[in-house]
């Protein structure tokens, strides 16, 4: 009996680390998005638009809104879904892993979205890679690695009835 309680406790700790990592991404994106929305010139970040060669925008307002919503708000909502595991027919429609809860799949989607965001940023910047871009690229890989851990997969498997 104690062994089963320890096992559930370990799973919860790993799940909490997973949720913390997604939460850190969400907070950073919300913060960065708000700063870009408030200061679309990039002045608050010390990031002049002139450094971006092929940017299709005349300010950082649209990228700020995208960053705030796609990599900030969506992961924040995802945290709630990872904790509560709600049913959603709509979310299930684009869940490519039929044996996993849709919230787990969406954590993978968010990681790949972050990788795409960084790639697009690098295309527009066409300059040296900043350490933050490398950090967030590895961060996305970390999200994927943690999501693929057997303990996390077991928690979010549709066949798992141990944890809700």
Domain assignments of the chain as residue spans, ordered by start: 15-85+94-156
Q: Structure pTM? A: 0.89
Report the alpha-carbon distance of residue 42 to residue 63 in Å, rounded: 11
- pLDDT of amino acid 29: 97
- pLDDT of amino acid 2: 64
Rounded to 10 deg, the angle between the 102-125 and 131-147 helix axes is: 160
Whether the CA torsion 128, 134, 137, 141 is positive or negative: it is positive
Which of 48, 24, 25, 53 minimizes the C-alpha distance to 36? 48
Output the tens digit of pLDDT for each of the chain's 164 residues. Answer: 566 777 778 888 999 999 999 999 999 999 999 999 999 998 888 888 877 777 888 899 999 999 999 999 999 999 999 999 999 999 999 999 999 999 999 999 999 999 999 999 888 877 778 889 999 999 999 999 999 999 999 999 998 754 44
β-bridge partners, 100: 157
- pLDDT of amino acid 48: 81
Report the alpha-carbon distance of residue 70 to residue 106 in Å, rounded: 12
- pLDDT of amino acid 149: 96
- pLDDT of amino acid 1: 55
Quick check: 30 and 72 in contact, CB under 8 A? yes
Residue 151 CA, chain-centre distance (Å), reads 19
């Amino acid at each position: 009996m104690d062994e089963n309680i320890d096992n559930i406790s370990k799973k919860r700790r790993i799940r909490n680390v997973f949720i913390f990592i997604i939460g850190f991404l969400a907070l950073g994106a919300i913060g960065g998005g708000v700063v870009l929305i408030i200061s679309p010139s990039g002045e608050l970040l010390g990031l002049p638009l002139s450094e971006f060669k092929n940017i299709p925008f005349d300010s950082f307002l649209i990228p700020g809104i995208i960053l705030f919503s796609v990599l900030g708000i969506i992961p924040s909502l995802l945290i709630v879904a990872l904790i509560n595991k709600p049913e959603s027919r709509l979310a299930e429609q684009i869940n490519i892993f039929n044996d996993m809860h849709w919230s787990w799949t969406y954590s993978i989607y968010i990681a790949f979205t972050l990788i795409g965001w960084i790639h697009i940023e690098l295309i527009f910047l066409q300059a040296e890679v900043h350490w933050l871009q490398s950090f967030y690229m590895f961060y996305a890989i970390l999200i994927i690695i943690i999501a693929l851990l057997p303990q996390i997969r077991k928690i979010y498997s549709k066949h798992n009835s141990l944890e809700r």
